[in-house]
Structure 1
Amino acid sequence: MRCPVLAALAWPALLLAAPQGGCPAPSVAHQQGFDAAALCAVVRAFDASALNYHSLLVERHGVQVAEAYRAGRDRSIYSLFARTVDFGPQVSHDMRSISKSVTSLLWGIAAGQGLMPSVDTPVTAVLPELADPARPELNSITIEHLLNMSSGLAWNEPGVYNRFNDEFGLYWRGAPAGHVLGKPVVTAPGTRFNYNGGGTAILAQILEQRTGMALPDYAQRYLFGPLGITAWSWQRDLRGRALAFAGLRLRPRDLQKLGRLMLQQGRWEERQVVPAAWVAASLQPRLATGDGLQYGYQWWMGSTQALGLPQRWVAGFGNGGQRLFIVPGLDMTVVVTAGEYDKPELGPTYTRLLDSVAAAVEAP
């Protein structure tokens, strides 16, 4: 009989000569509720895929069940040319736009400290220097609209990143917030999703002003430090500012820690790192994205199937195939890293990988 997990994957050139190693220990897989053979099939399909995958990690109930790495071509955010990297547990990877989800966590921490304005506050009330009497419509854009990418601003940010992409200006302009809010308001704020990394840049600017700390310093003290994440970096723009929307580099295992943090409602060991109320608010679907998914406060949402039921997931997405999937109903996280940059058409492929892992779950 054909393995249903392999049939569900439907990846290009999937079944090349599959390697023999890399499968999880059957005892560990069974203890965490997986069909060990089915999960092994997923790992082998990952190993054999013609796509430029770099890592696949599966964790459930706080236990690392599967972990696989591959060498592959990669380029950091400022690199013009790709190079071959032998990826492994100790090698950091660009997170690209998963940086946005982490910035949202930092905002929530600062909000819990009483440092941030409420989400219904107009942006121009926080940054009055950007108010424009000739454009009163700007006053209707709130912090929440930046968080859920519904500002209504004209902003073109397709999956291919070049000089025609509005995000490009965020790397070098002296006043990124002015660059973003200088765009015309073309739809009523709060009514339509439009992907906009510029909103994240504004959130980071406000966070730095209110906390009195640079974004990486704040992240180290209040997020990465408490989680024991030590090998990380946050790349900066051409003027030395952390790229809140795209610049974070983490090891896949540390990205996985952030997923477990979310599953634990912001708690890590004996410490409430992110307020539980912020985690819940962040993961509340706010807007349909137009491709069958939904969006919260810098987090994506969708569903998969497992144990005969639909299972909701939330995720951080990053250009090139960076994914942190969190499946609360299965108490599971799945991390994927890859080097398929500027290929938005491959987005559903990474979700099918999650679907295949979920299909291997056989017990709660």
Structure 2
Amino acid sequence: MTRCLRPRALLLGAALVLAQPVLGPSTARTATTGSGVDCDRIWQTPEDNGTFYETNRTRIDPRPGHGWTVGSPQSVGMDPAVLEAGLRQLGRERSVFSALVVRHGRLVAERYFHGSRRNHSNNVHSASKSMLQALIGIAVRQGFIGSIDDPVHRYLPEYFADAPAAERRMTLRHLLTMTAGWEWQEDETEYTVEKQRDWVKAIVDRDLAHEPGTAFTYSTGNTHLLSAVLQRASGLNTCEFARRYLFDPLGITAEHWGRDPQGVYSGGYNLYLTPRELAKFGLLYLNQGRWQGRQVVPRETVTQSMRPVVRAGDGYSYAHGWWVRRIGGRTVPFAWGYGGQYIYLLPAADVVVVVTENTRVSHENVDVDLRTFLEDHVLRSVRARG
């Protein structure tokens, strides 16, 4: 999670569990059709120009309710009283903006708190890293990228011209699993990078602290490089690629997406979506990458998101672009963004849970731990009704 205030043990590195054209805007195509995403417009935010992390102001989605079948908890076999008690408890947390529950493809609970609304689009921060993982999988299927085991230098050769042999062995898989090996202190290194004109170069020029593939170091630099690779490989900017292959099929409209000084769209941060749109993405993965009968994301890509690769400390593991933890005796994959932007998947119960939090408040954000809500209210409501 970008800038997440979770325990630093999750950021500093851990033992590996063995398991399995140009970058800038001049040649990156844009679009104003389809879902309404205008990739030439949505990145422009003058107050945030030149900054790695943005001010997170709320934007408005003009079509926030599109594409959902709404039902009651009873209609999908959930105990409404048990679920409602959990929602009320979440609402008492001063940072929580929204809580949504989807079961059997129906939106059965939707609450907004502390002035938030259904049409409010906010920075989902590192929850967008999970979306970037989807885009890389799609790019492999489309033939733009050969394999996630391709070396990074194959797509960005000029940045690796003088790189040591170990860095030339670095693959896209290493970037996806946060095992690339560069020295990186999340929430600090970004402010060094933003002072440079070329952020991709600044990231690649970091010292190598570990042999690629041997240690976990959470790094938004890794995912920003994936965005640069995607733009180079496809000839489309990351926003246009996402619009064409992911957002349009799901009916998602991003209200804003940041870019670096070279025109590379933010890889895993500064993307603005509504809670309902996060829930759509969660449902897509819950359904093994299928949406309305179409295989939008390759099934293998979804499988990789749910299979832990590396221990991240404190009971957390990391897969490909997604976190994994044990909840209620189940292995649960989830997208996690700074300040509490969550997409939890409960495959055995056929449930998606989305919770978002306010990241503009002056007090320090402490991401609300959803374990109690998921175990005592969501899963218990399912068990209570069958």
Q: Same fold (TM over 0.5)?
A: yes
- Name the residue aligned to 1:360: 381
- Name the residue aligned to 2:170: 141
Summarize deviations over 1:293-333 as a string: whole Å, max 9, x none: 1111110111211xxxx122111111111111111111111
Query: What CA distance in whole angstroms lies between the structure 2 residues aligned with 1:313 and 1:193?
Result: 20
- Name the residue aligned to 1:62: 105
Per-residue deviation at 1:133? 4.5
1:154 lines up with 2:175 in the alignment: no
Query: What CA distance in whole angstroms lies between the structure 1 residues aligned with 2:139 and 2:153?
Result: 20
Query: What CA distance in whole angstroms lies between the structure 1 residues aligned with 2:197 and 2:169?
Result: 25
Per-residue deviation at 1:181? 1.9
Q: Does 170-179 or 215-224 show the bigger shift? A: 170-179
Q: CA RMSD in A?
A: 2.2
Contact 2:100 2:111 in 1 (8 A): yes
Query: What CA distance in whole angstroms lies between the structure 2 residues aligned with 1:154 and 1:29?
Result: 47
1:245 lines up with 2:268 in the alignment: yes
Contact 2:152 2:229 in 1 (8 A): no
Per-residue deviation at 1:344? 8.5
SS at match of 2:73: helix
1:256 lines up with 2:279 in the alignment: yes
Query: What CA distance in whole angstroms lies between the structure 1 residues aligned with 2:199 and 2:163?
Result: 20
SS at match of 1:281: helix
The amino acid of 1:232's aligned partner reads E
- Name the residue aligned to 1:7: none
CA 338–296 in structure 1, closer or farther in 2 if over 3 Å, else same: same
2:344 pairs with one of 316, 322, 325 = 325
Higher relative contact order (CA 8 A, sep 6+): 2
- What residue ranges of structure 2 are gaps of 5+ in the alignment? 1-70
Identity of aligned residues (%): 35
Contact 1:172 1:238 in 2 (8 A): no
Query: What CA distance in whole angstroms lies between the structure 2 residues aligned with 1:134 and 1:349?
Result: 41
Summarize deviations over 1:140-177 as a string: whole Å, max 9, x none: 211111010001111100xxx4xxx1123454533222
Query: What CA distance in whole angstroms lies between the structure 1 residues aligned with 2:313 and 2:214?
Result: 12
Contact 2:254 2:271 in 1 (8 A): no
Contact 1:172 1:239 in 2 (8 A): no
2:85 pairs with one of 33, 41, 44 = 41
SS at match of 1:346: coil
Matches within 5 A, 1:217-256: 217-230=240-253, 232-238=255-261, 240-256=263-279
Per-residue deviation at 1:202? 0.8
Q: Does 123-132 or 216-225 show the bigger shift? A: 123-132
Contact 2:197 2:261 in 1 (8 A): no
SS at match of 2:336: strand
Summarize deviations over 1:40-86 as a string: whole Å, max 9, x none: 1011112223x311000011111111110012xxxxxxxxxxxxxx3
- Name the residue aligned to 1:6: none
- Name the residue aligned to 2:358: 339
CA 40–197 in structure 1, closer or farther in 2 if over 3 Å, else same: same
TM-score normalised by the chain length of structure 1: 0.80
The amino acid of 1:354's aligned partner reads L
Query: What CA distance in whole angstroms lies between the structure 2 residues aligned with 1:134 and 1:88?
Result: 48
Aligned residues: 313
- Name the residue aligned to 1:129: 158
1:196 pairs with one of 200, 219, 224 = 219
Contact 2:216 2:310 in 1 (8 A): yes
- What residue ranges of structure 1 are gaps of 5+ in the alignment? 1-26, 72-85
SS at match of 2:324: strand
Q: Does 231-240 or 220-229 show the bigger shift? A: 231-240
